[in-house]
Amino acid sequence: MTMTVMILSKKLAKKHGSSYILPTRAPLSRAFFPRASLLLYVREVVSMRVSRALLQAAMDKIHMRGMTFMGYHGVLDAERVLGQKFVVDVTMSADMRAAGASDDIEHTVDYARAYDLVKRRVESDPVNLIEKVSADIARTLLHEFPTVEDVRVGVRKPHVAVSGVVDSLGVEIYRKRGEQF
């Protein structure tokens, strides 16, 4: 059994800006932590058995990067009238072992169909915020592809009206199957 202990020490939190993860197979005892000052607060103890197949499934990713579309989203009147380019990046997690074994598109995500769904959302029904566009894309992909467990969607505006030099401005969201959003 693998045990993961999350400890939060003032020194580590300050240095890393977060909690420190310590994987161990040793029993938790005072002997394991020779100096009590190292273990200030035990925040969470997670104990679970994880199969290799489950770990592999969690690592399978489908990437769709740099999809560029013309859209009319934005809060400014000029954005709604003239339109602008939107660049979309999508990463979906899915178990692709069956597809790898069978070479059958029915066992994976049809990339052409996913692309069409993303394109349809960006090029239709203008909204004020790209956060809404991103959320709509994530919701649609999770709904249309039951093998997808989670999705990360980034939407960028490469030509945005700001008083400075930027490559692009955008948002990135993450959604999981089963969550309310």
Distant-in-sequence contacts of 139-144, Cβ < 8 A, 24+ apart: 139/175, 139/181, 141/90, 141/92, 141/114, 141/117, 142/175, 142/177, 144/113, 144/114, 144/117
Catalytic annotation present for 11? no
Phi and psi, residue 79, nearest 5°:
-65, -35
Q: In the numeric block, which tokens belong to residue 96? A: 């692709």
Q: Residue 60: is it exposed, middle or buried by C-beta count within 10 angstroms (0-12/13-18/19+)? A: middle
List 14, 85, 132, 157, catalytic entry: 157
Residues recognised as catalytic: 157
